[in-house]
Amino acid sequence: MKRYVYINDDESSHELYCDNRISNRKYTVLNFLPKNLWEQFSRFMNQYFLLIACLQLWSLITPVNPASTWGPLIFIFAVSASKEAWDDYNRYLSDKKANEKLVWVVRQGIRKHIQAQDIHVGNIVWLRENDEVPCDLVLIGTSDPQGLCYVETSALDGETDLKTRLIPTACMGIDFELLHKIKGVIECPNPDKDIRRFDANLRLFPPFIDNDVCPLTIKNTILQSCYLRNTEWACGVAIYTGNETKLGMSRGIPEPKLTAMDAMIDKLTGAIFVFQIVVVMVLGIAGNVWKDTEARKQWYVLYPLEGPWYELLVIPLRFELLCSIMIPISIKVSLDLVKSLYAKFIDWDSEMIDYETGIPSHATNTAISEDLGQVEYIMTDKTGTLTENRMIFRRCCISGVFYGNESGDALKDTRLLSAVAGCSTDVVQFLTVMAICNTVIPIKSKTGAILYKAQSQDEDALVNAAAQLHMVYVNKNANTLEIRFNSSVIKYEVLETLEFTSDRKRMSVVVKDCQNGKIVLLSKGADEAILPYAYDGQQTRTFIEAVEQYAQLGLRTLCLAWRELTEDEYQEWSLMFKEASSTLIDREWRIAEVCTRLEHDFEVLGVTAIEDRLQDGVPETIETLRKAGINFWMLTGDKQNTAIQIALSCNFISPEPKGQLLLIDGKTEDEVCRSLERVLLTMRITSSEPKDVAFAVDGWALEIALKHYRKAFTELAILSRTAICCRVTPSQKAQLVELLKSCDYRTLAIGDGGNDVRMIQQADIGVGISGREGLQAARAADYSIGKFRFLKRLILVHGRYSYNRTAFLSQYSFYKSLVICFIQIFFSFISGVSGTSLFNSVSLMAYNVFYTSVPVLASVLDKDLSEGTVMQHPQILFYCQAGRLLNPSTFAGWFGRSLFHAIVVFVITIHAYAYEKSEMEELSMVALSGCIWLQAFVVALETNSFTIVQHLAIWGNLVAFYVINWIFSAIPASGMYTIMFRLCRQPSYWITMFLIVAAGMGPVLALKYFRYTYRPSKINTLQQAERMGGPILTLGNIEPQQRSIEKEVSPLSISQPKSRSPTPVYEPLLSDSPNSSRRSLGSRSSSSYSRNCKDN
């Protein structure tokens, strides 16, 4: 479980641990072919095609040339294999580049320039400024006298600010030369992928220092792929190398996501497969019976009396091969092709470029665009996703005085400014905490201006605000920091930093005033983490009021506090803290415990309120998507009141008369249970009437609910369209996504920060906002967008079109294969059930691969409704959500159509080309051209908008069919020599074609017209409206709303009364509530609801 790293020991660890060779490759040159083939053949479809292709090699049973299957099969395999190979080669190249990079490593006490791949665990690696770190290192020396260095970790976690790293205390002050000879042992855990945690110990061997164990944390490490910045040099001991680094461990190929549509296509393929087996069995038996009763009498066939043992199998196998085209080999290729085009359309979309940053949207996962159109639940993060995550200090309350209430900006409040000018003690203390109780690093730029590098946007806002109030945080030099207040410089020595954790909800620093030597504890944190710890006798009522008032405005509040420490108290505590910091087990918990021993008896100084503005277009986006029938859940780590206020201001929930918010809270199981039951009851009552009921739950209650009352909570989740979950941890976010997924809902998770990554990966679709919290979420996501408002376009435009197009494409692929297959089956009845193929190999292959694939591929440009119409009538998304365009019944329609068309083509052909014209090649070409003509008209009829590309593809394809066949007819060696020329000269050929088209398309057109006009779907109605130029919409126009939080404050009765049960208010709500439209469209009835409710 542990590894012991012996520093600078050239021999010991070479065998134990791997070297620093990075390998991301999946294959090697030798195993590429077998491994790749194995992977490809692990899919059912490919196995099927391979089996068919192998059977075709048996000439006794093959109806056509084996090339007609082998060709496309090899092509498909070659394409995906070469794609894999190319990816792998690129990985190899980038690995090689990283592996062969030269680094300075100490070997036998001398610094040498060696390749990065030769670094071993225990080696000392030297880095210069702007070097990339080759493996995970524990720092032992830097150029900085205080043992500090700065790293940029953006490749690791996407955060672009500089982070400080420092050398362990044991290594402090070791001479530059001696670093080459340092010996010691580091006791560290086995490699894991947690990049925020490293609990280890270091012990240096004599003569360096006594045997003291020195604790190591993540602060003492620099991890692979970081960059060294602002530091001349640094050196460290390699602890994890190669693929065992934290980066290497966290790298992994994510599970491929399967869309609902893919699953449906697989299901339909399975059904077709079963149908095929049945057909084959029936025809096989019929064939054998016919052979024994009839064919033996037919002397010209010359059946041998005694056949080989497998004779009974021959005819069924022939039919299996003849029917194998029922499952179109082209569908996989076409789908892959169009899916990557959907993804490209997202990448290209100029309306989804964030013009502030110039970042376009990007589809990382190219395979799941259809799922976007089927989203039912959106789980959204709050900070940075709904809001801009650009914190602005707005108001504050210092010892009972509210600043900034009038102007909305405390920085312009003259009272505060005059208080600052007058050096009011409270205010100065307050500003001091604002300025230095943080982990911000001030950096002086060349122009002299001070830039702050902060990990937290809140801290950034506070420090900047303090600076504007003349409390400027000037410099941080190792443990000393300088602030300038009204031109006087004050120095503090930082003794300890008690870091922020989401459990403690506060952070503190212990500083020593360099002027008077006083030791002070400065704290800031959430109200519930600070106010209860105020010293006895302090009146915190005004602060509670302030917090509530600010929270109602949707502002983020922080309470600032301080306490003077005595020297003894500090020393005593400091020892405990040191001890806790060096434990290996439960270190975080131990530290938290020790911290609470110091953080009490605060003198609360005041409350800050920071505004996090909503992003542009958030309320409209949410409103539109809610109209589209998508349910929203907000999962945030923020506190309940703030979350509710944000939810109100962005249309997430409706204010009281229209909507109702139910709270689930409680600290114990019983309380939570009672609260949950109550809410559920109210939900059940109100679910029958249209009312916007939402519930809010906090992390604690959620934990209990998920653990003990999962069933009830699931029911609640299904009933409720909106939920607000506050104070939830990343893993709870993921759990909630999992819960909804288990109810068979399509979920989309959107977030921007590292805490959203798990939820993003868990959800069916993960969307990352490439925002200010780094790129971590965007990188883990399937889609990355710049702003929340692009979600609307992503779902309504791209998702919907993708769904519609794939629905058509996949069903059409089956349709066209079935047509030709049915014709073959019908023909077998007039050819003695012997398994003769009517069509020749070339035609069959070209039919599948070329004639019928090209026109349908153009359907990626098809738009049933214009983007504007969809945006105005987002409810239309329902058709995609409910899978109305691809399901067994639509598929049955296509199946019926293929049967009908096959009958039309076959009957007309054999009657028109009867008697003296019934020549095999001619008849087969007549039937084939009949199919091609029908295909062209079917695609044309199903196309909603014709661009030039579609016209070219559909009609050009028809022309191409003739051109290609004329070419074949001109080759004397081909079987169809002169056939096409002969046919084209016959008037009866053309007459037959027109008859086939009219007889085949007439009923289809009539049916379509009838449905279109008299039983129109909503899509049809909108199509008509938009194209007839009529009044597309009189209702439901969504105007951009300019809201500011302040104006939107509506009294909320639900925020306070935690004990009182909320009384259900029955108000007629908007009847456009998608709940009702859902029901009227009849998708999820209560029966399916109860199905979903089953034990998950």
Partner 1 sequence: MDANGATTSSAAGGGSSSKSSAKKNSRKPKYSRFTQQELPACKPVLTPGLVIATFTIIGIVFIPLGLVSLSASEHVVEIVDRYDDSCVPPNYSNDKLKFIQAADTNKSCVRILPVPKLMKKPIYIYYQLDNYYQNHRRYVKSRSDKQLRSKSGEKDISDCTPEDKTKDGPIVPCGLVAWSLFNDTYGFSLDSKMIKVNKHNIAWKSDKDHKFGDDVYPKNFQTGGLIGGAKLNSSLPLSEQEDLMVWMRTAALPTFRKLYGKIEEDLPANKKIQVVIQNNYNTYSFGGKKKLVLSTTSWMGGKNDFLGIAYIIVGGLCLFLAVFFILLYVIKPRPLGDPSYLSWNKSPSGQPN
Is beta strand 783-785 parallel, antiparallel or unpaired with respect to 362-363?
Answer: antiparallel
d(CA 903, CA 895): 12
The letter for the amino acid at 255 is: E
Does the annotation place 556 within a ligand binding site?
yes
Pair of tokens at residue 44: 């059912």
**Shortest distance, position 82 Cβ to partner 1, whole Å:** 18
**Shortest distance, position 24 Cβ to partner 1, whole Å:** 6
By CB under 8 A, what part of segment 307-326 binds partner 1?
318
**Shortest distance, position 264 Cβ to partner 1, whole Å:** 25
Check if the beta carbon of residue 781 is closer than 8 Å to that of residue 774.
no
Whether omega for the bond prior to residue 207 falls within 30 degrees of 0, making it cis, is yes
Nearest to 753 by CA among 383, 319, 391: 383
d(CA 544, CA 389): 25
* DSSP class of 1084: S
**Does residue 863 belong to the site contacting partner 1 (CB under 8 A)?**
yes
The span of 237-245, 359-367, 502-510, 726-734 binding partner 1 (CB under 8 A) equals: 359-367
d(CA 875, CA 989): 48
**Does residue 231 belong to the site contacting partner 1 (CB under 8 A)?**
no
**Does residue 838 belong to the site contacting partner 1 (CB under 8 A)?**
yes
By CB under 8 A, what part of segment 1033-1052 binds partner 1?
1033-1037, 1039
**Shortest distance, position 857 Cβ to partner 1, whole Å:** 14
Distance of alpha carbon 619 from its chain centroid, rounded?
Answer: 22
Pair of tokens at residue 704: 């209990």
Residue with Cβ nearer partner 1 (347 or 545): 347
The HSE-up count of residue 271 (CA atoms within 13 Å, CB side) is 14
**Does residue 992 belong to the site contacting partner 1 (CB under 8 A)?**
yes
d(CA 307, CA 296): 12
By CB under 8 A, what part of segment 748-777 binds partner 1?
775
Is beta strand 765-769 parallel, antiparallel or unpaired with respect to 227-229?
Answer: unpaired
Check if the beta carbon of residue 697 is closer than 8 Å to that of residue 725.
yes
Residue with Cβ nearer partner 1 (726 or 905): 905
Among residues 12, 80, 742, 834, which is the contact residue for partner 1, using CB under 8 A?
A: 834
By CB under 8 A, what part of segment 894-933 binds partner 1?
908, 910-924
d(CA 548, CA 577): 34
User: Site for partner 1 (CB under 8 A): how many residues?
Assistant: 127
Among residues 207, 256, 1030, 1040, which is the contact residue for partner 1, using CB under 8 A?
A: 1030
DSSP calls for 742-771: HTT--EEEEE-SGGGHHHHHHSSEEEEE-B
The span of 339-347, 490-498, 586-594, 661-669 binding partner 1 (CB under 8 A) equals: 339-347
User: CA 130, 136, 138 angle in degrees (round to 5)?
Assistant: 90
**Does residue 870 belong to the site contacting partner 1 (CB under 8 A)?**
no
**Shortest distance, position 936 Cβ to partner 1, whole Å:** 15
d(CA 905, CA 827): 11
Alpha helices in 1015-1068 (DSSP H): 1018-1028
The HSE-up count of residue 381 (CA atoms within 13 Å, CB side) is 33
In degrees rounded to 5, what are phi and psi of residue 422? Answer: -85, 5
* DSSP class of 208: S
Among residues 185, 706, 1032, 1065, which is the contact residue for partner 1, using CB under 8 A?
A: 1032
Residues counted in the chain: 1096
**Does residue 232 belong to the site contacting partner 1 (CB under 8 A)?**
no
Among residues 1027, 1043, 1048, 1096, which is the contact residue for partner 1, using CB under 8 A?
A: 1027
Nearest to 354 by CA among 859, 784, 890, 909: 784
Pair of tokens at residue 693: 């009921």
Does the annotation place 638 within a ligand binding site?
yes
By CB under 8 A, what part of segment 135-174 binds partner 1?
152, 154-155, 160
Q: Can 266 be counted among the known catalytic residues? A: no
Among residues 854, 984, 1025, 1093, which is the contact residue for partner 1, using CB under 8 A?
A: 1025
The HSE-up count of residue 1015 (CA atoms within 13 Å, CB side) is 5
**Shortest distance, position 1073 Cβ to partner 1, whole Å:** 9
**Shortest distance, position 385 Cβ to partner 1, whole Å:** 21
Among residues 71, 1016, 1062, 1064, which is the contact residue for partner 1, using CB under 8 A?
A: 1016
Terminal C-alpha separation, the chain: 35
The span of 71-79, 550-558, 592-600, 983-991 binding partner 1 (CB under 8 A) equals: 983-991
562, containing H or E segment: strand 556-565
By CB under 8 A, what part of segment 694-713 binds partner 1?
none
Per-residue binder mask for partner 1 (CB under 8 A), 85-114, x = binder: -----xx--x--------------------
* DSSP class of 799: I
Per DSSP, the three-state class of 987 is: helix
**Shortest distance, position 463 Cβ to partner 1, whole Å:** 22
Does the annotation place 262 within a ligand binding site?
no
**Does residue 340 belong to the site contacting partner 1 (CB under 8 A)?**
no
Q: Which of 144, 161, 381, 698 is labelled catalytic?
A: 381
**Does residue 1071 belong to the site contacting partner 1 (CB under 8 A)?**
yes
Does the annotation place 336 within a ligand binding site?
no
The span of 139-147, 340-348, 388-396, 399-407 binding partner 1 (CB under 8 A) equals: 340-348
| CB burial string 639-658: b at 16+ within 10 A, e below | bbbbbbbbbbbbbbbbbbee
Among residues 274, 281, 301, 421, which is the contact residue for partner 1, using CB under 8 A?
A: 301
Nearest to 768 by CA among 735, 791, 747, 795: 791
Does the annotation place 758 within a ligand binding site?
no
By CB under 8 A, what part of segment 813-832 binds partner 1?
827, 830-832
Does the annotation place 292 within a ligand binding site?
no
d(CA 419, CA 402): 12
By CB under 8 A, what part of segment 779-818 binds partner 1?
779, 801
Does the annotation place 755 within a ligand binding site?
yes
The span of 345-353, 403-411, 427-435, 442-450 binding partner 1 (CB under 8 A) equals: 345-353
By CB under 8 A, what part of segment 40-79 binds partner 1?
63
Does the annotation place 111 within a ligand binding site?
no
Active-site amino acid positions: 381
Annotated binding site: 381-383, 459, 500, 524, 556, 636-638, 727, 733, 752, 755-756
Annotated binding site for Mg(2+): 381, 383, 752, 756
